[in-house]
Amino acid sequence: MVEEVPGSVGTSASFGLRLGQTLFSSASLLFMSMGVEFYSYTPFCFLVTIMGLVIPWSFTLALIDGYSVLVKCPLRQPGILVIVVVGDWVLSVLTLAAACSTASVAELMFTAAGSDCPPNLCSRYLISAAMAFLSWFLSLGSCLFNLWLLPSL
């Protein structure tokens, strides 16, 4: 009998983490893509692409976690867990990269002297970057909890 690690795949803590990731990624995507001209800056396109990858990934895993909690039968196959850990890790690195790029470009547009960025548009970019950072943080948490469980299997 393997002891339960809170936050690993198939627990209610993991379900909460996944829901949070889905929520923050969707918020980041919405704040970014409701702005009119995000496609004219590379980092904003990158953020939209990565959020388009993170949302289905987190949502699928949230469904799996919800199912596991309902039937009280946590997932315990090392192969699947490795895929989840590696996927989480890759997506968290990409999310961090996108969030940093977006934040720095938005901050530059916000403070640049000759900038023609309307304040409400620029603050939306910054909010989007902040949401991406929160999503990164939760994604990293999931990755670490699952990595912690991995050697005991």
Residue 104 interacting with a copy of itself (CB under 8 A): yes
What is the secondary structure of 86-143 as a DSSP string?
Answer: HHHHHHHHHHHHHHHHHHHHHHHHHH-TT----HHHHHHHHHHHHHHHHHHHHHHHHH
Residue 49 interacting with a copy of itself (CB under 8 A): no
Residue 35 interacting with a copy of itself (CB under 8 A): no
State the nearest-atom distance from the C-beta of 37 to a copy of itself, in Å: 14
Residue 105 interacting with a copy of itself (CB under 8 A): yes
CB atoms within 10 A of CB 72: 7
Sequence-distant (6+) residues with CB within 8 A of 146 are 7, 8, 9, 81, 84, 85, 88
Count interface residues toward a copy of itself (CB under 8 A): 17
**Contact indicator for 132, 98 with CB cutoff of 8 Å:** yes
How far apart are the C-alpha atoms of 65 and 125, rounded to whole Å? 32
Tell me the window of 29-37, 65-73, 77-85, 104-112 that interacts with a copy of itself (CB under 8 A): 104-112
Nearer to a copy of itself, 59 or 89 (CB): 89
Residue 107 interacting with a copy of itself (CB under 8 A): yes
Contact letters (x/-) for a copy of itself, 73-102, by CB under 8 A?
A: --------------------x--xxx-xxx
Interacting residues toward a copy of itself by CB under 8 A:
41-43, 93, 96-98, 100-105, 107-108, 114, 151
